Chain A
Amino acid sequence: MNNRNQRRSPGHGQDQQTIEQIRKSRNRVLALGLAAFVILVFFISIAKMS
């Protein structure tokens, strides 16, 4: 958390690389979340049919 705060305070390299890094990690979490959602909906459908 501290590193993150440091990265986000002015004068601590708010450069393209940092932005890309944050975006990448957020997109990865979003992709995992969506994949988990699809799998969950699949299993819900199976459970409701049984």
Chain B
Amino acid sequence: MTDAPLTRTAPALPADWRDLFALTKPRVMSLVIFTGLCGLIAAPERIHPVLAFTAILCIAMGAGGAAALNQWWEADLDAGMKRTAKRPLPQGRLDRTTARDFAGVLCGASVFLMGFAVGWLAAAILAVSIVYYAVIYTIWLKPRTPQNIVIGGGAGAFPPLIGWVAATGHVSAMPIVLFAIIFFWTPPHFWALALFVKSDYAKVGIPMMPVVAGEKSTRRQILIYAVLLLPLSALPWWLPGKEHSGAIYGICALVLSSLFLALSARVAFRERQGPDDAMKPEKQLFAYSVIYLFALFAALVVDRFIVI
């Protein structure tokens, strides 16, 4: 990677705030904010609403900053992939220095504000999550190993842990289980996507699982993770102490995860039907995986407030 501006069209105009906002990957951020909020609400202790708002704002800013760092680093790769070629940096609507500085300010401000307002343990975990995503995943793992998304999945698993720690001030069993749920959810979610944009990844040389190990192996591994996710997602129901969830969450988790497993099995036991295959089951699994995580965490919160 070089610091030279990557352009199709030279960025002669000043950076537009909408392009800076796009750098934060707003759609991905919505899931991060939601899981972080659920971790905060599901915690057994309450904090002042202003501090709760600040905690979520910091999680969003940290996630946005890490996403901007990711796009700053991968601008060359993004230019070569259809899915990402329209981002501000590959399009030349922003220069790299602006993107890097914007990302740095967001990351630094999020950690400092979290420490000042909420607590330094939550701030430290937020800092770790930013480094995990921007350095360990983006720079180190992604271009080197097909297990990139397995290990790197940890980066997206931090928000509920941070939300929980922001509310309670300590780490306990439940937030670790929530972390593990997202950790095990990430590989089937990303590999479903990687199966239908395989050629994009191959073109820019990113060793995603379908590119390196082949589709058959990827499909089998999607199923393995979906199988593991079924009992894991129900684990909050069986946790001891006051942290555990109730039957509403437990039943929702079992139903949602069973459907996830069914869709994964459909992907696992099929093969690509030639180059014109629409890859509908893979696309459906990817779409459902997003709904799955939203619904699972929503069930966690609903369960906390409704006692049967």
Chain A contact residues, CB within 8 Å of chain B? 1, 4-5, 7-10, 14, 18-19, 22-23, 25-26, 29-30, 40, 43-44, 46-48, 50
Task: Check if B12 sits within 8 Å of A5, measured CB to CB.
Answer: no
**Cβ 8 A contact of A46, one of B11, B12, B50, B116:** B50
Specify which of B11, B15, B93 lies most central, judged by the most chain A CB atoms within 10 Å of its CB.
B93
Query: Residues of A contacting B85 with CB < 8 Å?
Result: none
A23 (CB) vs chain B CBs: closest residue: B14
Question: How many residues of B sit at the interface, in one of the four size bands?
Answer: 20 to 34
| Cα-based distance from A23 to B49 in the complex (angstroms) | 35
A-B contact count (CB 8 A): 54
Contact present for B48 and A4 (CB under 8 Å) = no
A47 to B11, CA, bound (A): 44
Of A10, A19, A47, A48, which is within 8 A of B9 by CB? A10
Leading 10 A-B pairs by shortest Cβ distance: A47-B50, A47-B48, A29-B17, A44-B117, A43-B50, A26-B17, A14-B12, A22-B14, A22-B16, A23-B14
Nearest CB of B to A14, in Å? 5
Contacts of B93 in A (CB 8 A): 4-5, 8
A28 closest partner in B (C-beta): B17
- Cα separation A48 to B119 with both chains bound (whole Å): 11
Beyond the given pairs A29-B17, A44-B117, 15 more chain A to chain B contacts, judged by CB atoms under 8 angstroms and listed by A's residue number, are A4-B16, A4-B19, A5-B91, A5-B93, A8-B13, A8-B92, A14-B12, A19-B13, A22-B13, A25-B17, A26-B16, A43-B50, A44-B54, A46-B50, A47-B51
Q: Is B27 an interface residue (CB 8 A)?
A: no
B254 to chain A, nearest CB (A): 39
**Most chain-A Cβ atoms within 10 A of its Cβ — which of B9, B13, B19, B48?**
B13
20 A-B pairs with CB atoms under 8 Å apart are A1-B18, A4-B16, A4-B18, A5-B93, A7-B13, A8-B11, A8-B92, A8-B93, A9-B9, A14-B12, A14-B13, A19-B13, A19-B14, A23-B14, A26-B14, A26-B17, A26-B20, A30-B17, A48-B51, A50-B48
A26 to B136, CA, bound (A): 32
Tell me which residues across on chain B come within 8 A of A44, comparing CB atoms.
Answer: 50-51, 54, 116-117
A44 to B117, CA, bound (A): 6
Query: Quick one: which of B32-61 are within 8 Å of A by CB?
Result: 48-51, 54, 57
Are B54 and A25 neighbours in the complex by a CB distance under 8 Å? Answer: no
Question: CB < 8 Å: which of B10, B16, B92, B116 contacts A25?
Answer: B16
A25–B20 Cα distance when bound, in Å, is: 12
- Looking at A18, A23, A29, A47, the one whose CB has the most chain B CB atoms below 10 A away is A47
CB-defined contacts of A40 to chain B, threshold 8 Å: 50, 54, 57
Whole-angstrom CA separation of A41 from B17 in the bound complex? 23
With both chains docked as a complex, state the minimum distance between the C-beta of A48 and any C-beta of chain B, in angstroms: 7
- Do A18 and B13 touch (CB < 8 A)? yes
